[in-house]
Copies of this chain bind each other. A is one copy, B any other.
Amino acid sequence: MNVRRSNRAMIDHHCHAVVGRDLDPDEFEGMISESFAPAPLGTSHWDKPVGLAIRRWCAPVLDLPKFAEGGDYVARRLELGAAEVNRRFLKQSGITAYVVDTGNRPGLLCTYDELGAAADMPAFEVVRMEAVAEEVMRAGCDAKGYADAFEAAVEASLHDRVVGLKTIVAYRSTLRIDPTAPSRADIEAAASRWLADIEATGEVRIGDEVLERHILWFGADLARQKGLPIQFHIGLGDADVEMHACDPSHLTAYFRAVEPWGVPMTLLHCYPFHREAGMIAENFPNIYFDVGFVQNWAGPSYRNVMREALEMAPFTKQLFSTDAFGLSELFYLGAMRFKNSLDSVLDHWIELDECSPDYAEQIKTWVSGQNAERIYRLAPAAN
């Protein structure tokens, strides 16, 4: 599993794939909204920080003037075609490897290897355990057989391009959960409740706290055996989130319980709890974090968040991610924001004589990719 080396590896350790087909204006607007609803009457989804950032920074990549209007932007995008648009943004992002969560609306997006091919860079997969559980139920399974079937399905999903597991417990049962492992009998009872819920609603959506605890404990044990990290959705990044319950410190007792296993656990996005995440990364040797997503969505103010993220945590514990979803713009913009914000914070440190230029380069090397290479075991080609 070799990662091509640029001058400095940029490992996007948490992202989704892109939409391979063309997007009409409404579809494009929908993808720059966390809500599934249209913008209120008299307003547009373009009129937010991320919309402004796309008009400023992505328009020129499509040969438009900076600050092109949203309508013109989508028209030009259609003119060039999705393949060319995606190729341009991915190429120019500077990202050297993609670690892709494949469990969110896979039908809408291309596959992780199609993403890698479009970027001409290696791509890896992260298995979203909740998606596996839902697949198991869709395939047909009784309550008694659920635990074994789920565990077997997760194990079966671990082909040689899989470099991690992921859980979205944050926006299913929230992080305010019993930190202990459930018994097999508890899981069976919970699976039985879930089957009744599927029967009643026709929708297959995992949410029961017991089943999420099973995911956390089985996942950690499997990760330990296989040498994989586990990713945790934290803070913002989904309209289903009940924010106060997505503070990663709700998982403290769980983290303490599994700490001896030494499984790297990565806290994703974290905003507005990135300070908490940084402290947890200091307190636990196996915890890592990033401030992805918000670097795209915070528009011109993205630098603040990076500055706060660098307040407390060890430099060997922070990671880079875009959390791009659907739009290749978000890889380009997210990588640019990440590089600029890290540069601007460290340049300020150098200016204050608080950091040497050499050490600033070392910090960039760690956070941009080396930390991810170490914990995801992505051997750099040149090493």
Residues of A that sit less than 8 Å from B by CB:
33-35, 37-40, 42-45, 47-49, 52-53, 56, 66-67, 236, 239, 241-245, 247, 249-250, 252-253, 259, 271-272, 275-276, 279-280, 282-286, 294, 297-302, 304-305, 307-308, 310-316, 345, 348-349, 352-356, 359, 366, 374
Given contacts A252-B242, A282-B33, contact A316 B43 (CB under 8 A): yes
**Are A39 and B314 in contact, CB atoms less than 8 angstroms apart?**
yes
B315:A48 contact, CB within 8 angstroms: yes
Taking a contact as CB atoms closer than 8 A, the residue among B37, B43, B345, B356 that contacts A314 in the complex is: B43
**B300 adjacent to A355 (CB under 8 Å):** yes
**Which one, B35, B66, B311, B348, contacts A285 given CB within 8 A?**
B35
Assembly stoichiometry (copies)? 3
Q: Give chain B residues whose Cβ lies under 8 Å from the Cβ of A348.
A: 300
Min Cβ gap A244→B in Å is 5
Closest to A276 in B: B243
Q: Which residue of B lies closest to A350 (CB)?
A: B300
Q: Smallest CB–CB gap between A2 and chain B, Å?
A: 19
Given A279-B236, A359-B52, answer yes or no on A298-B285 (Cβ-Cβ < 8 Å): no
How far does the alpha carbon of A218 sit from the alpha carbon of B258 in the complex, in Å?
A: 37
* Contact of A39 with B354 at beta-carbon distance under 8 Å, contacts A282-B33, A307-B304 already known: no
Complex: chain B residue closest to A303, CB-CB: B352
- CB <8 Å contact, B249 and A355: no
Given the known interface contacts A243-B249, A286-B40, A359-B67, the answer about A314 and B48 at a Cβ–Cβ threshold of 8 Å is yes
Q: How far is the CB of A41 from chain B (nearest CB, A)?
A: 8
How far, in angstroms, from A43 to B264 measured CA to CA in the complex?
A: 14
Q: Which B residues touch A33, using CB under 8 A? A: 282
Q: How far is the CB of A227 from chain B (nearest CB, A)?
A: 12
Given A236-B279, A243-B279, A276-B272, is A52 in contact with B355 using a C-beta cutoff of 8 Å? yes
